[in-house]
Structures are given as structure tokens and as C-alpha cells.
């Protein structure tokens, strides 16, 4: 499951579910990587590791018999980095070498001495330290010193001994064609690369923590949302009421129904603003609107003319208060069900996302 498309499908599913709830850009960046590939070059002493490194990336590592590389040296060319290492002469020391650099590499470049292919010490070191799915390219060196008729048998022996690791076996030597080694510059399966797996795992653990934190959050408070919605509406209502009252005092408005109609026009805009606020908070908005005022009959209009400005202002106040109460009741009613529905949906989404992320972490 941790190899190939199946493993990546598990990770991508986790990313998709979690992205609806928390940021996942760090995971996507970890999968994409930095565009480079890092190989640890291993092999017995004098197998030709430094010569191969020099040839592939234009380095100037010292070459020679008897083993001249005493510590790991990083040599790079563009996006390809080769970690030239001392020869493996002891399986425990060789295993320590691989383990020490495992988290920083994408694969092993094993330089196999064609004169003595795959010594027991080399194989034991790799078996001790390298995961079986770690990308492995085996370059059989010094074939120019071997009878050409024996080349195929040597390459076959190397492949057979490493078959469980699905190696790529490439003939080497002074006259070998370097073209097959172009594969070293190609991106490695993220779930087979220890370097990328570590980055993906670290970023996914961050996502898991964010989901855990979100699961402990209380979520929207219906009473608080209703209060906030009513408060926003009330502020707009009182502002509009003062505007209409000023027009009444200036005798531009003479009747209560005319004043209430003017106020109602302002309140329709206020209701639209509150609906936008609730839609942003809940994902849906109530359909409530302030009811239009009644139209006065002739007797009512005559009463307003007789009562004057005070009569109209009192009627305006009564109507404004009624709309305020109706709005508060309406917003309390319309927030409870959507919040409950939202919390249920979020709980379900959180459970699915956390399970998917846990499944992805298990394969990393």
C-alpha cells in the first residue's frame, strides 16, 4: 500500500478531506518537493564511486585505489546531488552510514565492483539499514576489466541478488554508455523516498494537530449569532429612524404611514446586510424581511393632521419598536437550526478527515 499509486491515493484522499477544514498547502509542497534528487553513493572500497560521481556531476573528487574518500561529500549538478561516501568494509559501519543519511536521501546509488560483485559485507550493511522499497540503482563498475562474454552473467547475478528491492542494474566501466544513468535526475516516487516521506509525514502531522484543535472548538453559538444579527439590524433601524424623524420635524413627511413606509425602505437594506452576515457565518441565510406597514385610512390621516408632528413621531417610534422586536425573534428562530445542522456536518467532516489523515500517516 505504501508504494505507487495506491499509497498516493490514500494521501491525496486525506489532503482532499482535510482541505475543507484546515490549510494543507504544506503537505502539497512536501509532495511536490524542491525539484531535486539526492542519492547516497555506496559500495566497497575502490569500486569506483568517486570516479562515477565525477563523471555524473562534474565533481573533482580524488580517485584512486585503496579508497581515498574518508567522509561523506555532497556533489551537485543542477537538481542532482550525489553523496559520495567511504567504502563499506564492515557491515555494521556500513549500516550506520546508511542510517545516518537515510532521512536526507531519495535513494541508493550502489557502485558494484564487477570484479567482486556484491560482497557479503555490502549486502549485510544494506539489509540492516535500507528499507526494501528504497529506490536502488546498481552500477556495475570495472566491467572494462572483465571478459565481455561474462558481462551479462555478472549483471544477471547482481539483479538476482537484489531482486527483492526491484533494482535498476546498469553496466559501468570506463567505456560504459552514461545515458541509462539519466534516470538519476528523474523525480522519485514520494512514498519511496525517505527524504520526501519525512517531509510529507511532518506536514501531515501538522494537519492532524490542526484537525484535533478544530474538534475541540465549540463552533458557532446560535444565541450569540442571533444577538449579533439583531444588534446589527437595530443599529441600522435607529439610524434610519432618526433620518425619517428629521424629515417629519421638517414637515416633509406629514402622516404616520408615510413615515413608516420611508423607514421600511431603509430596513429592507438593513435586512439584506444581516442576511449576508448570517450567510457568511452559517453558509445559509434566513428569508425574513420586515413586514410592510399598514396604510392609513382617511380618519387616520385626519388624526395625524390634528395631532401634528408629535402624533407622527409617536407612530414612527411604535412602528420602529415593533420591527425591532420582530427582528430579534426572527433571528433567534432562524439561527438555531442552521447552526445545529452546521455542527453535525462539521463533526462528520472532521471524523472523515481525521480518519483519512491517520490512514495516510500509517503508510508513511
Domain assignment of residue 199, yes or no: no
CATH number of residue 42's parent domain: 3.40.50.300
pLDDT of 284 above 80 = no
Among 165, 186, 207, which residue terminates a domain?
Answer: 186
Question: Exposed, middle or buried by CB within 10 Å (0-12, 13-18, 19+), for 344?
Answer: exposed
* pLDDT value of position 321: 93
* Cell numbers given for 10: 490514500
* pLDDT value of position 31: 92
Q: From CA 160, how far away is CA 163, in angstroms rounded?
A: 5
User: Do the beta carbons of residue 78 and residue 182 sit within 8 Å?
Assistant: no
Q: From CA 107, how far away is CA 167, in angstroms rounded?
A: 11
The string of pLDDT tens digits covering residues 39-76 is 999 999 889 898 899 889 887 767 655 556 778 989 99
Domain assignment of residue 26, yes or no: no
Tracing cell 413586514 back to the chain, one arrives at 291
Among 144, 163, 186, which residue terminates a domain?
Answer: 186
| Same structural domain, 171 and 252 | no
Enumerate residues 6+ apart whose C-beta is below 8 A from 111. 41, 42, 43, 47, 48, 49, 52, 139, 141, 172
Domain assignment of residue 77, yes or no: yes
| Same structural domain, 166 and 50 | yes
Q: Helix (H, G, I), strand (E, B), or coil: what is residue 315? A: helix
Pairing of strands 73-77, 37-42: unpaired
* pLDDT value of position 268: 93
Domain assignment of residue 149, yes or no: yes
* pLDDT value of position 175: 77
| Same structural domain, 165 and 66 | yes
| Same structural domain, 167 and 259 | no
Count of domains for the chain: 2
Domain assignment of residue 205, yes or no: no
Domain assignment of residue 76, yes or no: yes
The string of pLDDT tens digits covering residues 256-274 is 889 999 999 999 999 999 8
Q: From CA 347, how far away is CA 88, in angstroms rounded?
A: 54
Tracing cell 555490502 back to the chain, one arrives at 122
| Same structural domain, 131 and 257 | no
The string of pLDDT tens digits covering residues 299-352 is 777 777 777 889 889 989 999 999 999 888 888 777 766 666 666 677 888 899
Q: Note down the domain range covering 277.
A: 220-362
Q: What is the mean pLDDT of the chain?
A: 87
| Same structural domain, 102 and 167 | yes
Q: From CA 112, how far away is CA 66, in angstroms rounded?
A: 16
| Same structural domain, 57 and 171 | yes
User: Do the beta carbons of residue 133 and residue 104 sit within 8 Å?
Assistant: no
Among 161, 186, 211, which residue terminates a domain?
Answer: 186
| Same structural domain, 160 and 252 | no
Domain assignment of residue 198, yes or no: no
Domain assignment of residue 11, yes or no: no
| Same structural domain, 109 and 226 | no
Question: Helix, strand, coil: what percent of the chain each, to 5?
Answer: 60, 10, 30
| Same structural domain, 84 and 165 | yes
pLDDT of 2 above 50 = no
| pLDDT range class, residue 239, cuts 50, 70, 90 | very high
| Range from 81-95, 175-189, 198-212, 281-295 carrying the lowest mean pLDDT | 281-295
pLDDT of 1 above 50 = no
| Range from 105-114, 148-157, 175-184 carrying the lowest mean pLDDT | 175-184
* pLDDT value of position 40: 96
Pairing of strands 136-141, 107-113: parallel
The string of pLDDT tens digits covering residues 98-127 is 999 999 999 999 999 999 999 999 999 999
Return the percentage of the chain with pLDDT > 70, whole number.
90
| Same structural domain, 175 and 129 | yes
End-to-end alpha carbon distance in the chain:
10
- Per-residue pLDDT, averaged over 179-192, amounts to 91
The string of pLDDT tens digits covering residues 340-359 is 666 667 788 889 999 999 99
Tracing cell 562474454 back to the chain, one arrives at 149
| Same structural domain, 40 and 182 | yes
- Per-residue pLDDT, averaged over 201-205, amounts to 96
Q: Helix (H, G, I), strand (E, B), or coil: what is residue 71? A: coil
User: Do the beta carbons of residue 173 and residue 144 sit within 8 Å?
Assistant: yes
* pLDDT value of position 67: 53
Amino acid at each position: 500500500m505504501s508504494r505507487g499509486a495506491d499509497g498516493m491515493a490514500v494521501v491525496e484522499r486525506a489532503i482532499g478531506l482535510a482541505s475543507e477544514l484546515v490549510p494543507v498547502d504544506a503537505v502539497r509542497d512536501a509532495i511536490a518537493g524542491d525539484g531535486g534528487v539526492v542519492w547516497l553513493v555506496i559500495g566497497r572500497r575502490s569500486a569506483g564511486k568517486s570516479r562515477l560521481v565525477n563523471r555524473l556531476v562534474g565533481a573533482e573528487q580524488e580517485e584512486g585505489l585503496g579508497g581515498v574518500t574518508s567522509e561523506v561529500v555532497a556533489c551537485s549538478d543542477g537538481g542532482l546531488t550525489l553523496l559520495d561516501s567511504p567504502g563499506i568494509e564492515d557491515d555494521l559501519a556500513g549500516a550506520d552510514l546508511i542510517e545516518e543519511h537515510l532521512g536526507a536521501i531519495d535513494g541508493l546509488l550502489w557502485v558494484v565492483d564487477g570484479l567482486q560483485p556484491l560482497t557479503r559485507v555490502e549486502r549485510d550493511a544494506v539489509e540492516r539499514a535500507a528499507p526494501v522499497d528504497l529506490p536502488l540503482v546498481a552500477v556495475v563498475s570495472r566491467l572494462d576489466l572483465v571478459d565481455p562474454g561474462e558481462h551479462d552473467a555478472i549483471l544477471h547475478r547482481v539483479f538476482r541478488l537484489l531482486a527483492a528491492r526491484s533494482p535498476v542494474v546498469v553496466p559501468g566501466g570506463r567505456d560504459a554508455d552514461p545515458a541509462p544513468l539519466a534516470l538519476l535526475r528523474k523525480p522519485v516516487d514520494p512514498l519511496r523516498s525517505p527524504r520526501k516521506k519525512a517531509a510529507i509525514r511532518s506536514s501531515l502531522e501538522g494537519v492532524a494537530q490542526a484537525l484535533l484543535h478544530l474538534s475541540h472548538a465549540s463552533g458557532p453559538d446560535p444565541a450569540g449569532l442571533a444577538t449579533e444579527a439583531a444588534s446589527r439590524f437595530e443599529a441600522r433601524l435607529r439610524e434610519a429612524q432618526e433620518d425619517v424623524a428629521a424629515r417629519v420635524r421638517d414637515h416633509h413627511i406629514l402622516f404616520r404611514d408615510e413615515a413608516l413606509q420611508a423607514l421600511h425602505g431603509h430596513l429592507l437594506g438593513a435586512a439584506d446586510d444581516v442576511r449576508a452576515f448570517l450567510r457568511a457565518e452559517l453558509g445559509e441565510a434566513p428569508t425574513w424581511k420586515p413586514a410592510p406597514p399598514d396604510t392609513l385610512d382617511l380618519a387616520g390621516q385626519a388624526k395625524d393632521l390634528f395631532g401634528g408632528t408629535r402624533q407622527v413621531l409617536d407612530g414612527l417610534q411604535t412602528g420602529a419598536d415593533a420591527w425591532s422586536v420582530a427582528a430579534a425573534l426572527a433571528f433567534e428562530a432562524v439561527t438555531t437550526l442552521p447552526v445545529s445542522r452546521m455542527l453535525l456536518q462539521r463533526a462528520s467532516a472532521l471524523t472523515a478527515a481525521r480518519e483519512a489523515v491517520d490512514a495516510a500517516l500509517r503508510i508513511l
